[in-house]
Every structure is written in C-alpha cells, then in structure tokens.
Structure 1
C-alpha cells in the first residue's frame, strides 16, 4: 500500500502584477494548450471567442502565481471585476504539476483575495473540453450556474460560482 503525501505545503502563491514575467509565461502556455484543445472550433468559426473573453489589465483585481520551490512557477489564476462580481480568469496549472494540489492552493489564494476585495462570490467559465477543471471546481465547492455574458454565445460553455459568505 502506498501512502499519499500532501505536497501542497511546498506550493506558495505570490501576488504579482498582471504583466509579471512568470504570469505572462504561464498564460502563454495556457493559450497554447487551449488553442490545441479547441483547434477545430477555431478553424470552423474564426470568431469563435467572444470579445469579453479578453482580459483587460485594468479590470484585473488580483493575479497569483503558484511556485513549487523558490524559482519554479507552476500555476496562475487571476480575478477580474465583472460588474459587481469577481470572475476567476486564466486558471492554469502546468501539466508537470497537475494532480499535486496546485489548483487547490491557487483557489484558496484567489478566494482569500476575493474576500479581501469585498467579494461575496466568485464566478467562472470553463469549457467542455476541460473535464479535469470541471472536477476541480466541483470538488472545491463551485456549483453550476446559468451561462453569463459573453459565454452564452460560446459552444460548450460551463459556468460556476462559489459563495464566499
């Protein structure tokens, strides 16, 4: 029998600026992965992504980068203001560190930041080709909600929320 070891104590999330080099590099890796996962949809419909999917830096209220060790960025998450809500954006864990608790540590940091910003809930969007992400969100207490703009126009959308109260 193999014992499970919780290595989340080795993951540290640092609050950084949106343009932090590690944050930018992780978002680029996420973009590459998502472009490959949804390539057929992009090819069939060049305007597949609605404009609201872009994150304007001035709308970002928090950006966190997870580190495994002092110099190894392995995860990214941000919060943007969307009206009265805070929306989780660009949640990403490097493939090399998936299943190691990085997502849980990132979500804890995001939720703490949202509370500090006065948020009462976090909303998010993910896609049907990201079943691992759906499982993480559900495991961490996020519940499905109706699609919210602009995602109602995006095939395969899933939206979730988590109350912070």
Structure 2
C-alpha cells in the first residue's frame, strides 16, 4: 500500500481525471481526499511495473451503506490495460476491505462506461440502487458485491 498523496498516486489520479475529462467533455474532477483512504478505515494501492506506477485504486467507508467499502479511483495506464493488473488491484482492495471489517464493496461508474461495468460484473459485482451523492444522477450506475 502507498499513501494516496504520494507523487505516483497523484500522477495516476491526475491521468484518470484527464481521461474522464476527455470522455465526458469537461474538466474539474476532484482528486481523492487523502484522509478518506488512510488507515484505519481506508487503503490506497499503486501497482508498479519495474519503477513505473501503472495502476491504482482505493477503498474508503461508504457512509450511506454501513459496513460497505467504496471502491474509488480505479485506473490503469492505457498501455498496461488488459493484462490483469486492474483485477489484481481490485482483488487486493477486497482483501484489504475484509481485513478492515467491511462486509461488502460498492462503487459508482458512468453509465456510458460500458467497459467498466463489464469489468466489475466480471468480478462478481452487480447493479445496486444509486447511493448518495449519486441519487439524482442520470449519468451514474452503482454496483456492489458481498465480500
């Protein structure tokens, strides 16, 4: 695990937010709030290929669903996609969530991000009702899984 505010973690988040900005046509996505990903209730992971940071993801408490870890900031640098790195990050986050006492995991992704929905469904996640702050969103879908 690494701290969410390390240069590598920040660079991966900035790359993710830039890619989302290109996809959705606007900028201004917020970077993760570092305290939410810190122990004892959160974690943030960065995967490396040699010395290069290539993927990341984090978990933090999901206040709207007690006992549930929210998976956030999942991202893999494009040249490293489809090599199983995202699966390893997600599985490691789920193991960490269990160790932290969570019983379930949930996440939000964009409705137009069919590849992301398919990725999470392939890992056992299924659609759940929208949760705050996404209740009124027409661009969000939420997925969850018992751990």
Which of 55, 63, 67 is the aligned partner of 2:44? 63
Q: CA separation in 2, counterparts of 1:154 and 1:54?
A: 20
1:79 equivalent to 2:59? Answer yes
Q: Check conservation: 2:55, 2:74, Cα contact below 8 A.
A: yes
TM-score by length of 1: 0.79
Unaligned runs of 5+ in 2: none
Superposition pairs of residues 70-109 of structure 1, within 5 angstroms: 70-83=50-63, 84=66, 85-109=68-92
Worse-superposed segment, 120-129 or 147-156: 147-156
The two structures have a TM-score, normalised by structure 2, of: 0.88
- Comparing 112-121 with 78-87, greater Cα deviation is found at 78-87
The 8 Å contact of residues 103 and 136 in structure 1, kept in 2 or not, is answered as: no
Moved over 6 A (4+): none
- Distance of 2:4 and 2:32 partners within structure 1: 10
Number of positions where the alignment pairs a residue of Structure 1 with one of Structure 2? 140
Do the aligned partners of 1:81 and 1:87 also contact (CA within 8 Å) in 2? yes
- In the aligned structure 2, how far is the partner of 1:155 from the partner of 1:54? 22
